[in-house]
């Protein structure tokens, strides 16, 4: 009987600094990277810096209102010409030697021009352009302005995810940010693992029919997933109780849907919300996950902000909260009941993301063990994990 390879990437690729550096150079520096929403960039001169692997980039709205992307490098000595985010008025001025660029990236002026050798040719020393494209209101950048067009790169993913225009929705609160002690690939694989949904998220996702889930590989690189509500054509009861309006006309999308844009971006939708998820590698064993939620416009702001937590959650009572509350409270046998009662009252709800964070960090600890190995898998429910691993390996090995 032929052995099946259930772990395509070697364990050290999840904690090796050398492999992390290769990913930054060869994967994140050679794929389309999420750069925020189109409506993040307001008036002319509005900009945000973006990191694409080892490439510092900046997205900026020029004087004509057109969005552009550049490498955030002065053509004199390579200093970043713009900080994290903000608005520039008429020109971009490098903070080091005051080389000045137009909002279209062209070089306008070089102080003490006679001191420069050779004399600068302004027509060839504009900011290096980068690729910029938009899908569903989401902006993506690529270090190479001649990269494969985004619509080709996405393949049939746009036809597989909920048809939502997030620019018609409103963002009721600040981004939700999580800092994880695990490699970014572990979080991505967890998101593609449909085997754990009925266990880790037993209470949170109880209203969805795990047995009727749909998943598709989109082109070579991307992935889509949809799980209907247990009562087809009806919003899950918790969504109805939340009191927010649905964002879909077609009840087909009243379930839980996501699209994974390789290598590190997700779009999540439910009946009443749309969420972007950016998975940012910050080290070989650390990751930042940033979620931004949007809901239908014209609704109560406080209610909408509450849904950002509720819709991503439906949480269970964690045993660790109960135990933690008892540690300092229990002094005598008679205080045990009071400690249990107080801990039960004070318990807080854990979101789906927090449940996933717990599992991902546990996996990171396990993968470092000399005894680590993968046992039998559920091919139908975990094939997204193996496809993702294969794609990462293919990208880095050609």
Superfamily of the domain at 156-315+350-397: Naphthalene 1,2-dioxygenase Alpha Subunit; Chain A, domain 1 (3.90.380.10)
- 275 touches 294 (CB < 8 A): yes
- 37 touches 30 (CB < 8 A): no
Query: d(Cα 267, Cα 273) in Å, to the nearest integer?
Result: 11
Predicted pLDDT of residue 112: 86
Domain residues of the chain, as ranges? 33-146, 156-315+350-397
SS3 state at 304 = helix
Predicted pLDDT of residue 92: 97
Predicted pLDDT of residue 44: 95
CATH 2.102.10.10 assigned to domain 33-146? The reply is yes
Helix axes 352-367 and 184-192, enclosed angle (nearest 10): 120
| Cβ neighbours around 148 below 10 Å, total | 12
Question: And the tokens for 196?
Answer: 């754990």
Predicted pLDDT of residue 348: 55
**SS3 letters across 113-169:** HHHCCCCCCHHHCCCCECEEEEECCEEEEECCCCCCCHHHHCCCHHHHCCCCCHHHE
Strands 33-37, 138-142: pairing is antiparallel
Predicted pLDDT of residue 151: 97
Predicted pLDDT of residue 34: 98
Average pLDDT of the chain? 85
What are the angstrom distances between the C-alpha of 340 and each of 121, 316, 320, 335, 349? 75, 16, 12, 9, 17
What pLDDT tens digit does each residue of the chain (398 aa) get?
344 566 789 999 999 999 999 999 999 999 999 999 999 999 999 999 999 999 999 999 999 999 999 999 999 999 999 999 999 989 999 999 999 999 999 999 998 888 887 888 888 999 999 999 999 999 999 999 999 999 999 999 999 999 999 999 999 889 999 999 999 999 999 889 876 765 677 667 767 777 888 999 999 999 999 988 888 888 887 777 777 889 988 988 988 889 999 999 999 999 999 999 999 999 999 999 999 999 998 875 555 555 444 444 432 223 233 333 333 443 444 454 455 455 445 555 677 788 888 888 988 999 999 998 887 787 777 888 999 999 999 999 76
Give me the helices (H) in 154-262, please.
157-160, 184-192, 197-200, 237-242
């Amino acid at each position: 009987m032929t052995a099946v390879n259930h772990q395509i990437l070697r364990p050290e690729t999840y904690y090796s600094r050398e492999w992390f550096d290769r990913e930054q150079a060869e994967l994140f520096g050679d794929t389309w990277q999420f750069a925020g929403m189109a409506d993040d960039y307001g008036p002319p001169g509005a900009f945000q810096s973006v990191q694409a692997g080892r490439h510092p980039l900046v997205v900026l709205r020029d004087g004509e209102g057109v969005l552009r992307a550049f490498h955030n490098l002065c053509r004199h000595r390579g200093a970043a010409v713009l900080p994290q985010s903000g608005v520039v008025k008429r020109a971009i001025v490098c903070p080091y030697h005051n080389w000045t660029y137009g909002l279209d990236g062209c070089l306008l002026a070089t102080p003490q021009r006679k001191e420069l050798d050779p004399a600068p040719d302004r027509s060839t020393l504009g900011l290096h352009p980068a690729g910029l494209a938009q899908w569903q209101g989401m902006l993506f950048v690529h270090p190479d302005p001649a990269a494969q067009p985004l619509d080709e790169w996405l393949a049939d993913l746009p036809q597989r995810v909920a048809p939502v225009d997030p620019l018609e929705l409103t963002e009721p609160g600040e981004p939700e940010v999580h800092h994880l002690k695990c490699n970014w690939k572990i979080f991505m694989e967890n998101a593609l693992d449909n085997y754990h949904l009925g266990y880790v998220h037993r209470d949170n996702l109880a209203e969805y029919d795990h047995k009727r889930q749909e998943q598709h590989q989109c082109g070579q690189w991307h992935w889509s997933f949809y799980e209907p509500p247990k009562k087809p054509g009806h919003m899950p009861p918790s969504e109805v109780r939340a009191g927010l309006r649905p964002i879909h006309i077609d009840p087909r999308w009243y379930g839980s849907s996501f699209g994974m844009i390789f290598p590190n971006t997700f779009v999540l939708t439910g009946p009443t919300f749309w969420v972007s998820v950016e998975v940012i590698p910050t080290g070989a064993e650390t990751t930042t996950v940033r979620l931004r939620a949007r809901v239908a416009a014209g609704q109560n702001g406080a209610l909408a902000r509450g849904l950002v937590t509720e819709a991503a959650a439906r949480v269970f009572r964690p045993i660790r909260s109960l135990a933690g509350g008892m540690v300092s409270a229990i002094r005598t046998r008679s205080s045990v009941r009071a400690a249990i009662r107080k801990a039960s009252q004070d318990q807080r709800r854990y979101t789906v993301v927090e449940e996933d964070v717990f599992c991902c960090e546990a996996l990171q600890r396990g993968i470092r063990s000399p005894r680590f190995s993968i046992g039998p898998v559920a091919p139908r429910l975990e094939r997204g994990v193996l496809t993702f691993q294969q794609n990462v390996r293919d990208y880095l090995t050609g």
